[in-house]
Amino acid sequence: MAALTIKDIARICGVGTSTVSRAINDDPGINPETKERILTVVEEFHYVPNNSARNLKVTDSNTVGVLVKGRNNRFFQSMYADFEQELEQAGYDFTFKEIAYNENELLEAEAMIKEKRLKGIIFLGGMIENPDESLARLDVPYVLCTVAVNTRLAKSSSVGIDDEKESYKIVDYLIKKGHKRIAVIVGQRRDYAVGRRRMQGYVRALNDNGIIFDDSLVIYQRDDLPDYSEANGYAVMSEFLKSGKEFTAVYAIADLLALGAYKAIYDAGKKIPQDYSVMGFDGIEITKYMHPALTTVRQPIEKIVKESVDIIIKEISGDRTSRQVYYETELVEQDSVIEIL
Amino acid sequence: MAALTIKDIARICGVGTSTVSRAINDDPGINPETKERILTVVEEFHYVPNNSARNLKVTDSNTVGVLVKGRNNRFFQSMYADFEQELEQAGYDFTFKEIAYNENELLEAEAMIKEKRLKGIIFLGGMIENPDESLARLDVPYVLCTVAVNTRLAKSSSVGIDDEKESYKIVDYLIKKGHKRIAVIVGQRRDYAVGRRRMQGYVRALNDNGIIFDDSLVIYQRDDLPDYSEANGYAVMSEFLKSGKEFTAVYAIADLLALGAYKAIYDAGKKIPQDYSVMGFDGIEITKYMHPALTTVRQPIEKIVKESVDIIIKEISGDRTSRQVYYETELVEQDSVIEIL
């Protein structure tokens, strides 16, 4: 493609190329008005100086970004291909960035919007206390996808599941199967997002069934291991088993944690579900091939991705209606839970 | 950002705005020379018509694309975050596209380069018979990452492992443990890429150890299920177990296939490794948490990604030295193989 050269810009502005160069490089030896005039032309004609073309993007983009709270979280990673496909079908490019749990998503979002010249941004995972206020200063539309927000009264568009309610469903299921001493692997202690929500569902289900909450059955993930990982589930379950606490079932708030817990239970010479029933959360493919297959609830990932993309595109097109879409999970009864007396 | 309007283009060309519109919309009622002249200006000044701004990108990009042969292949998907990070550190954007096994990567690459205005492209997975010839017409640099090429004499830059040699290592290990009847779960019948290479390693290891190849121990993946998936490993292993063939070990050419095979073996009432030893390939995280933990070889994914990015950036910067980088895998001895007499 023919691109403008510095000579073209010089000709349009009626100056020499060195003057254009000085304007671009912010050289003090140039008349401010001349500089202003040159930079206006540079911008108007989308001129990209050759030597800094790699880092400067004064051009337009057609990109929607997904900012992911969590590094190497395979539940989120399994959604990227769907995001790419849905966005492509709508004529947009997809880009993503994973950030650690303790990074500030607002600052990261601002940087990402600027660097990638995003048309819209989807937040994936994490917790945003007051999205209406904290995200108001973003200058592109945004959608919260499986983000825990502090209140349903938020006007920001969001898509996901009701973590508290779905977690309640799991614990209620275990109780109906006769379990009363139910251990729970929750988030890290500082997890005020999905981990906290799912724990609240656990507490409420116990209450509604007349079972007194026992905090010694709450197993926090370690903060020196990746959260929601097999490694974390394995480490904390191994530790818990050594404590000698009595329990008949363990509910891990993510399938990958349950996978780690399985190994800890086997290492301790115990059987699933004969010695301990186990339940997970998410419904990822691998649960079918665990030994025994894990009873869990399945999140409708495809629907969640599609709806998030639909909303961001509507918002980019100017329709700023606030939408909150919550899906139900599906209970997947497999082989890791037995009824007890 | 100030952008050119259709009026600016009309003024520059000395025609009316409707003529510009006709030129852009390929209207037959316009003098071909006038049209040509207008389109040259449109291109030169990077003019983006307002109403089609969403789909037209006549602007510059700074993007490296990864074209992935395989949909929902979690081994490849686990590399995306690394690609994003490595490219970002080098000042580039990352985009990816997954295509099915039977799609033509050359055509897809050409489309992707055009649509996303790529600066370079990395092919991930699959098989390219004669890359030097077939990829010569791509007008951006490319790198083959874990792509099976037909000859080491190819000049195209490539990064990966030597699949034949690493596969040999696995089978040789099983033989040294006393196994002679080793079943192998390979690619689909039409898989001439990595699946074929790994099978060749299997055959050569048998030969070198004086064991006669028995084709009834070769288990092909089904082509009506996703390849290299747990579902495929489960289906074909279940079928194989019903056949009543005698064997003491099974080598699955991908860990996820082994995971499916585990379930098939358990469903048949058999134990691992007491009844059957199992080995995998890839060394993904989950193998540690399988029951028993899977003995496998680990591919150095991080190194492979980093090297691929380093090479594509060198090539984009004009250094077209041909590089072929092959890494060794690491044998990860876990609990799924026993020595037999």
Name which of A46, A77, A288 is nearest B59 (Cβ-Cβ): A46
Cβ of B291 and A288 within 8 Å? Answer: no
Cβ of B78 and A80 within 8 Å? Answer: no
B97 touches chain A (CB under 8 A): yes
Percentage, residues of chain A above pLDDT 70: 91
Could you tell me where in chain A the CATH 3.40.50.2300 domains are found? 63-162+300-328, 163-298
**C-alpha span between A48 and A52 (Å, rounded):** 8
Name which of B95, B116, B286 is nearest A230 (Cβ-Cβ): B286
Tell me how many helices (H) and strands (E) chain B has.
11, 14
Cis before residue B300, ω within 30 degrees of 0?
Answer: no
Sheet architecture: strand order including A120-124: A93-99, A63-69, A120-124, A142-145, A158-161, A324-327
Q: What is the pTM of this model?
A: 0.78
**C-alpha span between B293 and A285 (Å, rounded):** 19
B44: left (phi over 0), alpha (psi -120 to 50) or beta: alpha
Tell me the fold of A163-298: Rossmann fold (3.40.50)
Question: Which residue blocks in B146-229 are alpha helix, DSSP H?
Answer: 163-176, 194-208
- Per-residue pLDDT of B325-335, as tens digits, reads 999 999 999 99
- Helix or strand run (H / E) with residue B278: strand B277-279
Name which of B48, B72, B285 is nearest A60 (Cβ-Cβ): B48
ipTM here: 0.74
Interface list for A 296-315 with B (CB within 8 A): none
Tokens of residue A334, six digits: 């497999």
**C-alpha span between B192 and B198 (Å, rounded):** 10
CA angle in degrees (0–180, nearest 5) for B94-A56-A21: 155
Return mean pLDDT, chain B.
89
Segment B184-204 mean pLDDT: 92
Chain B residues inside the 8 Å CB shell of A45: 4, 45-46
Name which of B74, B85, B116 is nearest A93 (Cβ-Cβ): B116
- Per-residue pLDDT of B167-185, as tens digits, reads 999 999 999 999 999 999 9
pLDDT at B42 over 60: yes
B238 touches chain A (CB under 8 A): no
- Per-residue pLDDT of B78-115, as tens digits, reads 899 999 999 999 999 999 999 987 888 899 999 999 98
Chain B residues inside the 8 Å CB shell of A125: none
Name which of A4, A116, A231 is nearest B93 (Cβ-Cβ): A116
Tokens of residue A139, six digits: 């200058």
Interface list for B 33-62 with A (CB within 8 A): 40, 43-46, 48, 53-55, 57-62
Q: Which CATH superfamily is domain B6-52 in?
A: lambda repressor-like DNA-binding domains (1.10.260.40)
Strands A330-332 and A296-298: antiparallel
**C-alpha span between A133 and A307 (Å, rounded):** 23
CATH number, domain A63-162+300-328: 3.40.50.2300
Burial class (CB in 10 A: 0-12, 13-18, 19+), B339: exposed
Residues forming beta bridges with residue A331, ordered by sequence position: A297
Q: Which of A23-27, A97-101, A249-253, B108-112 has the lowest mean pLDDT?
A: A23-27
**C-alpha span between B117 and B140 (Å, rounded):** 10
Would you state the pLDDT for residue B3? 54
Rounded alpha-carbon distances, angstroms, from residue A12 to A15, A38, A44, B47: 8, 9, 11, 16
- Per-residue pLDDT of A257-308, as tens digits, reads 999 999 999 999 999 999 999 999 999 999 999 999 999 999 999 999 999 9
Chain A residues inside the 8 Å CB shell of B53: 60, 62
Would you state the pLDDT for residue A49? 57
Could you tell me where in chain B the CATH 3.40.50.2300 domains are found? 63-162+300-329, 163-299
Interface list for B 187-226 with A (CB within 8 A): none
A111 touches chain B (CB under 8 A): no
Chain B residues inside the 8 Å CB shell of A100: none
For testing contact with chain A, the best of B51, B271, B291 (most A CBs within 10 A): B291
The closest of B91, B48, B61 to B313, measured between CA atoms, is: B91
Could you tell me where in chain A the CATH 1.10.260.40 domains are found? 6-52
Name which of A44, A80, A81 is nearest B4 (Cβ-Cβ): A44
Cβ of B2 and A230 within 8 Å? Answer: no
Cβ of A230 and B4 within 8 Å? Answer: no
pLDDT at B57 over 90: no
CATH number, domain B63-162+300-329: 3.40.50.2300
CA angle in degrees (0–180, nearest 5) for B277-B281-B286: 85
Q: Kindly report the CATH class assigned to B163-299.
A: alpha beta
Strands B296-298 and B330-332: antiparallel
- Helix or strand run (H / E) with residue B85: helix B74-89
